[in-house]
């Protein structure tokens, strides 16, 4: 199955079930996902095999967005969380119903132990900087003394 066929089947399965905005967002998401996987060197066949049937994906999207509230013919959709997709790992931030979830890899930074580790990291950096300056201080002092002597001797 090609990327275009996958996206067309997904669009057809979603039409009439969720808003046009939701359809567009999901089509853009899967389009970007497929393109990023192909850029990583994967074949289109392996990406399509991993994703599976677009109608099953559409059913999942419809089921997860079933918490639709209607008021005076206006439709509101509740999104459980917003995730910035960063497939390289490292720093990740998500905003959901419970607030921010900030992670570095699998380590949660917005917990008490994450904050403690951050404070300890800053203290460790300051200690290392202090040790380096302590080691370099005699050389800096000697360099300043030599520079001062050279300036004094050049004035005479």
Task: Reduce the DSSP state of residue 109 to 3 states and report it.
Answer: coil
User: Among 91, 105, 5, 94, which Cα is nearest to 47's?
Assistant: 5
pLDDT tens digits, 61-85: 888 876 553 433 445 455 555 555 5
Residue 72: its pLDDT value, please? 39
CA 34 – CA 36 distance, rounded (Å): 6
pLDDT tens, residue by residue, 15-61: 888 888 889 999 999 999 999 999 999 999 998 999 999 999 988 88
In this predicted structure, what is the pLDDT of residue 111? Answer: 76
The whole-number pLDDT of residue 122 equals 96
Q: What does the alpha-carbon distance between residue 130 and residue 122 come to, in Å, rounded to a whole number?
A: 12
What whole-number distance in Å separates Cα of residue 47 and Cα of residue 97? 31
Sorting pLDDT into bands at 50, 70 and 90, what band is 107?
Answer: low
Show Cβ contacts of residue 21 under 8 Å, excluding neighbours closer than 6 positions.
Answer: none
How far is it, in rounded angstroms, from Cα 50 to Cα 44? 10
Task: Check whether 115 has a pLDDT greater than 90.
Answer: no
Of 1-5, 94-98, 124-128, minimum mean pLDDT range? 94-98
pLDDT at 139 over 90: yes
Q: What's the rounded Cα separation, in Å, for the pair 58 and 69?
A: 20
The pLDDT of residue 71 is 37
The rounded distance, in Å, linking the Cα atoms of 119 and 115 is 6
């Amino acid at each position: 199955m090609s990327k275009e066929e996958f996206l067309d089947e997904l669009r057809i399965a979603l039409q009439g079930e969720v808003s046009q905005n939701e359809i567009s967002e999901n089509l853009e998401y899967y389009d970007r996902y497929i393109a990023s996987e192909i850029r990583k060197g994967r074949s289109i066949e392996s990406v399509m095999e991993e994703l599976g049937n677009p109608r099953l994906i559409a059913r999942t999207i419809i089921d997860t967005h079933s918490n639709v509230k209607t008021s005076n013919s206006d439709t509101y959709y509740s999104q459980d969380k917003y995730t910035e997709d960063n497939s390289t790992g490292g720093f990740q931030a998500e905003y959901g119903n419970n607030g921010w979830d900030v992670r570095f890899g699998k380590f949660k930074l917005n917990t008490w132990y994450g904050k403690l580790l951050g404070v300890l990291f800053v203290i460790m950096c300051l200690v290392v900087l202090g040790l380096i300056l302590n080691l370099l201080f005699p050389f800096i002092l000697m360099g300043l003394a030599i520079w001062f002597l050279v300036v004094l001797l050049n004035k005479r």
